[in-house]
A and B are shown apart, each in its own frame.
Chain A
Amino acid sequence: MKKFFAQTYLWLLLALLYAPILIIGVFSFTEAKVLGNWTGFSTKLYTSLFAGGVRHSLIDAIENTLTIALIAAAVSTILGSIAAIGIHNMRGRRRQAIFFLNNVPMLNPDIITGISLFLLFISLGISQGYMTVVLAHIAFCTPYVVLSVMPRLQQMNPNIYEAALDLGATPFQALRKVIIPEIRPGMISGFILAFTLSIDDFAVTIFTIGNEGLETLSTFIYADARKGGLTPELRPLSTIIFVTVLILLIIINVRSRRAARKQENI
C-alpha cells in the first residue's frame, strides 16, 4: 500500500512537471490557430516554420538568438578561463576578494543587470543593437565560466605547470600544452552553460536590444504574446528545442557514465 502511494506520488509529480511540454508537443501536430483546439493530425506547422516567407521574422529571431549565444559563449569562455587562471594564481585574501567579486553578478537579479547595462550604454552614447546584446551577454556569462573552470584548476596537481617549464616549455607553451588540456572539461561545461544562459535570457536582452527591430527568440515571443495570441509555429519550435535539449542531455549523461565506468575499471 505504502509502495502504491509512493509510486502514485512520483508519477503525479512527473506528470505535473512534463504536462506543459507534452501539451505543446501534442498540439504542434495540428493546424488550429488557438492552442487547445484539435483539428486533426497535420505537420503543416513544421513545414511552414521552415518554409520562410510569411513567418520570416521568427526565423530571423532564431538566427539572432543562436549567433548571439555562440559569440557570447565563445568570448566569455576565453575571458572566463583566463580570469580563472589569474584568480587561481593569486594568494590568500586577494584571491578570496576577487572570487567574491566574480560571484556577485551571478546573484544580482537579471533585471538589475539589464537596467544598469542599459544606462551604461546610454551614458557612453553607444547606440543599441546586435553589438550591445552580445556585449551584455558576455558580461553576465563570464562569471559562470570562471565558476566552472575554477574547480578544475583546484584539482590540478600544482606541480604540472612547473614540470612543463622544467622540461623546456615556455610559460605560453606550458599554458597551451598542459594547463588548457587539464581545464578543458571545465571550459566546455562553461561554454555550454553560457550558451544556454544566453539563449534563455530575456531580462537583460530586452534592455539592450534597442528599437531598430532586432529580435531574439525571447523578445519575439514576448512581443507576439502581447499582440494577442501566440503564433502557432511557436508550438513546433518549442517542441524541436525541447527534443534537442533532451537528446543533448541524454548524450552527455551516457558519456559521463561511460567515463566514470572507465575510471572504475582502472
Chain B
Amino acid sequence: MTNNDSIIKIEHLSKAFGDKVVLDDINLSIRRGEFITLLGPSGCGKTTLLRMIAGFLKPDSGVILMEGNDISNVPPHRRPLNTVFQRYALFPHLNVYDNIAFGLKLNKVQSSEIEARVRKALKMVSMTDYEDRDVNSLSGGQQQRVAIARAIVNRPKVLLLDEPLAALDLKMRKDMQMELKQMHQELGITFIYVTHDQEEALTLSDTVVVMSDGKIQQIGTPIDIYNEPVNSFVADFIGESNILNGTMIKDREVEFIGHTFECVDEGFGNNAPVDVVVRPEDIYIIANAENAKFTGTVKSCIFKGVHYEMFVETDKGYELMLQDYNAFEVDSTVGMFIKPSDIHVMQKERTCNVFEGKMVSSTDVEILGGQFQCADCGLKEGDNVYVSVNFEHIELMDNKEDGTVIGEVEFILYKGNHYHLTVLTDSGEKVYVDTNDIWDKGDIVGISVNISDLHISKKV
C-alpha cells in the first residue's frame, strides 16, 4: 500500500479520561474509499476514536493525518468529514429540507444548487417527497435516513457513522445495512463505521478493526477476522467459538481435549502451550460413535432456526458447543470429527500471572496494592521483585473482605472444562484466574494467594 492510498493515518494516538486510559497507542491506516468498521464491546474506546477523528475530542498524544496533513488540532467545523450520530441528532426546529440544507447554507452554496443537491440526497436515502415534513413526525428509521442525507449532501471525503443502526429494530436494521453498503459503493467515499454488533461488522466492512481495552486487537478482512482470530478475545467476540487450552506437540500436530489432532499450523515450536479455537459449525457430529475421532454425550439440544445448537460432554470431560442441521437426542452418545483446516491455533498471550512488586519484609511482599505473605527467599525490605502466580493458584472469594485485595470480574472465557477469568484489581492491574466456579461479569471478589504459590524473583 502506498502512502497516497491512505486517506487517514492515525499514529500513536492515546487518550485518558482522568485515570482511565481509553485509547492506548492506536496506529491505524485507512485507505481511500474503504468501508472500515471499528468493532468492540462497550467501553473499548471505539467511539472515542471516532469522536477524535471527527474533532470533538483532542488526543493526549499522537497525531491524526488526513491526506498527509496533521488535523489533530483542526476544529470539527473545518474538517472535510461528516458524522452520522447514533441518536440521529437532527435539528428539531427545522424541517427535513432545512436539516439537510444546513451544511450547504453555511458553506454559502447557491440556493438553486442547494435544492438540487438536497433532492438528490433525499433520493439516495429513498425519502423523496419528505422535504416539508417535521423531523419529529418521522419514525426512527426515517430520521436516520435524513441524518445520513444531511451528512452525504456535503460530499465529505470521509463519512463517520457512530452506531447508526443501534436504535432501530432488527428488520429495519437489516434493510438499512444493505442500503448503506449500496450507498458506499455508489458514493465511493470512505466510511468509518462504529458498532458493537459483530454480525453487522462482518456483513458491511471491507476491513474490521477489533478493539478492546483501548487497544486494537486485530485488523483484517471479515473473513480473516472470523477464520484467523489472533487471540482468544477476538475469537470469543466474533461469532460463537470453543476456545480451549492445547499443546502444540510439533508442527501440524496439536493436542487438546485429551486427544491429538492433525492441523495446518506450524512454527509454534515443540510442546508449546497454545490456545485452540474451533467454531461450533466446524465440529462434525455423527450418531455412530465407533469410527469417530472422539466421542461424547449430548447434554442439551436447542433449535435455533437454521440449525440446532448442542452442548456435548466429551469422553475426556470437556464441554463443547456444536451446531448441526440435525438434532441429536439428549443423553445419546455421539461421535465427532474436526477437519485439520478447521482447527485454529493461537499463540497463548500468557501462561502465568506476573506482577511487579516490592518486598516489605523478608516474608511479606507488596503486589496489586496489598500485602501478601510469602516464603522467605533471602530478599530484604525494599527490594523490587517480580512475582509470578499460576492461573489456577489465585483464589477468588465471594466475601470481598476475606481476600487480601479486591477486584472486579471483567471478562470470562469458557475453556471447555474451566473458566478463564480476567479480574481487574482496585490497583488497576489485571489478574488472570483459572477456576471451576461460576462467576458473573461485574462480580466484586476478594483475591488471595497461598504462601507457597507465590514465586518471587528479584528485579534486575
Interface residues of A (CB under 8 A from B): 157, 159-160, 162-171, 173, 177-178, 181-182, 263, 266
Chain B residues near A168 (CB, 8 Å)? 77-78, 103, 106-107, 154
Chain B residues near A160 (CB, 8 Å)? 89-92
Q: Are A266 and B93 in contact (CB under 8 A)?
A: no
B75 located at the interface, meaning its Cβ lies under 8 Å from any Cβ of chain A in the complex:
yes
What is the CB-to-nearest-CB distance from B98 to chain A, in angstroms, rounded to a whole number? 10
Q: Are B85 and A162 in contact (CB under 8 A)?
A: yes
Chain A residues near B137 (CB, 8 Å)? 266
Q: Are B106 and A163 in contact (CB under 8 A)?
A: no
Q: Are A157 and B89 in contact (CB under 8 A)?
A: yes
Give the interface centre of B77, B107, B137 by most chain A CB atoms within 10 Å: B77
Q: Are B106 and A169 in contact (CB under 8 A)?
A: yes
Provide 9 A-B residue pairs closer than 8 Å at the C-beta atoms, listed in order of the A residue.
Answer: A162-B83, A162-B85, A163-B89, A165-B76, A166-B81, A167-B77, A167-B151, A178-B91, A182-B93
Q: Of A163, A178, A266, which one neighbours B85 at CB under 8 angstroms? A: A163
B345 located at the interface, meaning its Cβ lies under 8 Å from any Cβ of chain A in the complex:
no
What is the CB-to-nearest-CB distance from B138 to chain A, in angstroms, rounded to a whole number? 9
Measured CB to CB, the nearest residue on chain A to B147 is: A163
Q: Are B77 and A165 in contact (CB under 8 A)?
A: yes
CA distance A177 to B78 in the complex (A): 17
Measured CB to CB, the nearest residue on chain B to A167 is: B103
Chain A residues near B75 (CB, 8 Å)? 165, 171
CA distance A266 to B139 in the complex (A): 10
Q: Are A169 and B77 in contact (CB under 8 A)?
A: yes
Q: Are A159 and B106 in contact (CB under 8 A)?
A: no
B134 located at the interface, meaning its Cβ lies under 8 Å from any Cβ of chain A in the complex:
yes
Chain A residues near B93 (CB, 8 Å)? 181-182
Give the interface centre of A159, A169, A171, A178 by most chain B CB atoms within 10 Å: A159
Beyond the given A159-B89, A163-B90, A165-B55, please list 10 additional residue pairs across the A-B interface where CB-CB is below 8 A: A160-B89, A160-B92, A163-B89, A166-B55, A167-B77, A168-B78, A168-B103, A177-B102, A266-B136, A266-B137
Q: Are A163 and B136 in contact (CB under 8 A)?
A: no
Measured CB to CB, the nearest residue on chain A to B83 is: A166
CA distance A1 to B103 in the complex (A): 67
Contacts known (A159-B85, A159-B87, A182-B92); A167 close to B154, Cβ less than 8 A: yes
Contacts known (A162-B85, A266-B136); A167 close to B92, Cβ less than 8 A: no
CA distance A177 to B85 in the complex (A): 19
CA distance A166 to B153 in the complex (A): 13
What is the CB-to-nearest-CB distance from B35 to chain A, in angstroms, rounded to a whole number? 20
Total number of B residues with any Cβ neighbor in A under 8 Å: 29
What is the CB-to-nearest-CB distance from A120 to chain B, in angstroms, rounded to a whole number? 40
A-contact bits for B67-97, CB 8 A (1 contact / 0 none): 0000000011110011101111111110000
Give the interface centre of B78, B83, B87, B89 by most chain A CB atoms within 10 Å: B89
Chain A residues near B136 (CB, 8 Å)? 263, 266
Contacts known (A168-B103, A169-B106, A266-B137); A162 close to B89, Cβ less than 8 A: yes
Q: Of B82, B83, B106, B134, which one neighbours A266 at CB under 8 angstroms? A: B134
A-contact bits for B313-353, CB 8 A (1 contact / 0 none): 00000000000000000000000000000000000000000
CA distance A182 to B91 in the complex (A): 8
CA distance A160 to B107 in the complex (A): 18
Measured CB to CB, the nearest residue on chain A to B106 is: A168
Q: Are A170 and B92 in contact (CB under 8 A)?
A: no
CA distance A178 to B77 in the complex (A): 14
Contacts known (A157-B87, A181-B93); A166 close to B102, Cβ less than 8 A: no
What is the CB-to-nearest-CB distance from A179 to chain B, in angstroms, rounded to a whole number? 10
CA distance A249 to B82 in the complex (A): 45
What is the CB-to-nearest-CB distance from A157 to chain B, in angstroms, rounded to a whole number? 5
Chain A residues near B55 (CB, 8 Å)? 165-166
Q: Are B89 and A167 in contact (CB under 8 A)?
A: no
CA distance A263 to B92 in the complex (A): 13
CA distance A167 to B102 in the complex (A): 7
Chain A residues near B235 (CB, 8 Å)? none
Contacts known (A168-B77, A169-B77); A163 close to B91, Cβ less than 8 A: yes
Measured CB to CB, the nearest residue on chain A to B93 is: A181
Q: Which 3 A-B pairs have the closest CB atoms?
A: A159-B89, A167-B103, A163-B89
Contacts known (A162-B76, A182-B92); A167 close to B87, Cβ less than 8 A: no
Contacts known (A162-B89, A165-B75); A173 close to B83, Cβ less than 8 A: no
B150 located at the interface, meaning its Cβ lies under 8 Å from any Cβ of chain A in the complex:
yes
Measured CB to CB, the nearest residue on chain B to A156 is: B92
CA distance A157 to B54 in the complex (A): 18
CA distance A181 to B93 in the complex (A): 7
Chain A residues near B81 (CB, 8 Å)? 166
Q: Are A167 and B85 in contact (CB under 8 A)?
A: no
What is the CB-to-nearest-CB distance from A260 to chain B, in angstroms, rounded to a whole number? 13
Chain A residues near B82 (CB, 8 Å)? 166-167
What is the CB-to-nearest-CB distance from B162 to chain A, in angstroms, rounded to a whole number? 9
Q: Are A166 and B134 in contact (CB under 8 A)?
A: no
Q: Are B134 and A167 in contact (CB under 8 A)?
A: no
What is the CB-to-nearest-CB distance from A240 to chain B, in angstroms, rounded to a whole number? 36
CA distance A163 to B83 in the complex (A): 7
Q: Are A166 and B87 in contact (CB under 8 A)?
A: no
CA distance A100 to B456 in the complex (A): 54
CA distance A164 to B92 in the complex (A): 12
Q: Are B56 and A167 in contact (CB under 8 A)?
A: no
A-contact bits for B42-72, CB 8 A (1 contact / 0 none): 0000000000001110000000000000000
CA distance A178 to B93 in the complex (A): 8
What is the CB-to-nearest-CB distance from B362 to chain A, in angstroms, rounded to a whole number? 45
Chain A residues near B87 (CB, 8 Å)? 157, 159
CA distance A166 to B56 in the complex (A): 9
Give the interface centre of B76, B78, B154 by most chain A CB atoms within 10 Å: B76
What is the CB-to-nearest-CB distance from A4 to chain B, in angstroms, rounded to a whole number? 47
Measured CB to CB, the nearest residue on chain B to A262 is: B134
CA distance A106 to B299 in the complex (A): 68
